[in-house]
Amino acid sequence: MEAPQRNLALDLVRATEAAALASGRWLGKGDKENGDRAAVEAMRISFKTLDMDATVIIGEGEKDKAPMLYNGERLGNGKGLKVDLAVDPVEGTNLLALGRPNAIAVVSAAPAGAMLDPGPSFYMRKLVVPAQAKGCVDLDAPVGENLIKIARALDKDVSDLVVFVLEKPRHQGLIQKIRETGARIQLHTDGDVAGALMAVNPDSGVDLMMGTGGTPEGVLAACAIKALGGEMLCRFDPQLESEKRAVLDFGLDLKTVLTADTLVKGDDVYFAATGISGGTFLRGVRYTGGGATTHSIGMRGKTGTVRILESRHNWEKLMGFSSVKYDS
């Protein structure tokens, strides 16, 4: 019998918990920079304790952008598996700053060389559906045609569907087309990764996600989508001519339809997220005088294992984090 392999998602949860505990102190204070910085510092401290030799493929810019977790940064203690990482210590910095729902701390991991490096691509067009609708949608099909097929796959009327869409000027036409079909919409100002998770989670109240969002967030979400058996179809969608030129110069194709398997190869993938502000599927950090409680999710692609974790933290026993107690 083959010995069971370690579930790296449980290690990643430690990093997302640390980021959430740190940034949650900045909820609603209108300061997204310091909220993000607190999460980055805590996540970096946490990774120093983890047995892995990790390289950040999806981070927050180049090395001169430090102290953010930058692309190419090495994390972990160097003693364990070689992995690629996609990190977002605060996914939804505006949500955190304004005290709105669905700000989360997120990390995805895959074996070294498995993650696509999107280089200078900031935006991609995405269509995310749950497992039941996998294989029945087309990124280039009319909106109404896709919604009809998704509704049929989910055994619903189109009018029963709820579509997650980012509330951006670029989506005015998309929103109108969705409304014309009779489907319902949840508009969110931010939270691209959270939207993808809602689309593949049958208990979220959201049936799919449509529209153009972040490329880094697409790679981050791909690991969770693979673990939950959903599907993401996407294409690089630069919003500025300068971005388009940079993407082409980097060697990326603007015509090819990508999938979660394109963004992250194989099924040996891991995903972890911890709620910061609270929301649809993860509760936010709850503080007490002596500690805090966090709510997290950890996923392993190879086995399809999904763990929901509620953790209680004592400030005095949190290694290293008491020095980053995150008061403003």
Binding residues: 36, 60, 88, 91-93, 123, 168-170, 190-192, 214, 217
Phi and psi at residue 63, to the nearest 5°: -60, -35
Q: How far apart are CA 58 and CA 224, in angstroms?
A: 15
Q: Tell how far CA 224 is from the center of its chain.
A: 8
Peptide bond into 169 cis (omega under 30): no
Q: How far apart are CA 312 and CA 173, in angstroms?
A: 45
Annotated binding site for substrate: 91-93, 123, 168-170, 190-192, 214
DSSP 115: B
Rg, the chain, Cα only: 19
Annotated binding site for Mn(2+): 36, 60, 88, 91, 217
Encode burial over 239-273: b for 16+ CB neighbours within 10 A, e otherwise: eeeebbebbeeeebeeeeebebeebbbeebbbbbb
